[in-house]
Structures are given as C-alpha cells and as structure tokens.
C-alpha cells in the first residue's frame, strides 16, 4: 500500500488520535458495555441464585436480556432521528445504569428479571448506536477501521466479562 493510498484510507493513528479518539471510544464503549455485561452475568448468576433464589427462572435472565436488546436495536434509527447521537447515547447509558442498579439491589429473581429487561433495552440501543453512528461521527475514510474497533469489543467482552464476573462471584 502506498503512502497516498494509506492516507486516503485513514490510519489507526488518526482514528485513535486526538481528533477522533473520543468518538471512537464512545462508539466502541457502548458495544463493550453490552458484551461484557452478558458474560459477567453468566459468571455471576449461580451466586445470585444462591443468594436470592429463583432457580426455576434461571434461563430467563439471559432470555429477557437478549430479547429486549433485539427489540431495542430495531429502534436505533428512529431514536437517532428524534434525539440525535449525544442524547441517544446518554439516555441509553443512564437507562443501562438504572437497570444495573436494579439488578444489583434485586432481592428476588423477579425483580432481577425486570432489571435485565431494562439493561437489555438500553444495551441493545448502545450496541446498535455503536455501529449506526460511525458514519455520522467519523469521516468516511475511517469507517472500516472504526467498524473493526467496534466489532472487536465482542472479543474483549468474551475475555473481560467472565473473568470479572468470576472475580465478583469469588470475592464480592
């Protein structure tokens, strides 16, 4: 690849540098939050069931999260149109935080499931926004590399999620 071609395609340094590093972090961060949360939960769930009961609802913890995230992902376009990228991200992040707090404080499996629905709705938005906003936040020469960074967060989630969940289950 010649220097001119590399420059026209954008570089990793440009994507992760001062001008676009913040936007790239936000885009990738939403997907990372979604992915890590799924794997943390699977590692923590046996401990949670031991604490709050609800073994018969065990499978629903993942099911409601995934179903609600798929539903929310289908709304990314209209949400972006109505609220714009900044408020869409902030709303999804605040909602995800509220769902996480609800899950953390849930005294019953039923309340944990409500928290997982909230997390799933917000997480589906965060993950969808991570891909949908690339074209609005970055110049087209960086889209391919940005898509790679955002997609890499699924791999990061499979590494960090179970490890963190296991540590919380063991020591938390």
pLDDT at 170: 85
Per-residue model confidence as pLDDT tens digits over 120-135: 999 999 999 999 999 9
pLDDT at 171: 85
Does pLDDT of 6 surpass 70?
no
- The predicted model scores a pTM of 0.89
Name the pLDDT band for 66 (thresholds 50, 70, 90). very high
Neighbours of 19 (CB within 10 A): 13
**In this structure, what are the phi and psi dihedrals at residue 92, rounded to the nearest 5 degrees?**
-65, -40
| 3-class SS of residue 106 | coil
Does pLDDT of 30 surpass 80?
yes
Instruction: State how far the Cα of 87 lies from the Cα of 120, in Å rounded to an integer.
Output: 18
Domains of the chain by range and CATH? 22-171 (1.20.1250.20)
Q: Which two tokens stand for residue 44?
A: 């923590």
Instruction: State how far the Cα of 106 lies from the Cα of 44, in Å rounded to an integer.
Output: 14
């Amino acid at each position: 690849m010649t220097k001119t071609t590399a420059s026209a395609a954008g570089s990793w340094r440009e994507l992760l540098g001062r001008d676009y590093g913040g936007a790239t972090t936000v885009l990738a961060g939403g997907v990372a939050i979604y992915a890590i949360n799924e794997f943390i939960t699977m590692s923590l769930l046996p401990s949670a069931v031991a604490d709050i009961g609800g073994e018969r609802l065990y499978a629903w913890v993942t099911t409601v999260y995934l179903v609600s995230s798929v539903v929310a992902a289908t709304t990314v376009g209209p949400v972006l149109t109505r609220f714009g990228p900044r408020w869409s991200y902030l709303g999804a992040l605040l909602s995800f935080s509220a769902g996480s707090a609800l899950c953390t404080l849930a005294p019953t499996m039923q309340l944990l499931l409500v928290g997982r629905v909230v997390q799933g709705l917000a997480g589906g938005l965060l993950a969808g926004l991570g891909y949908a906003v690339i074209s609005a936040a970055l110049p087209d020469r960086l889209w391919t590399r940005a898509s790679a960074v955002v997609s890499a967060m699924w791999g990061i989630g499979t590494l960090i999620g179970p490890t963190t969940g296991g540590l919380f289950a063991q020591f938390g």
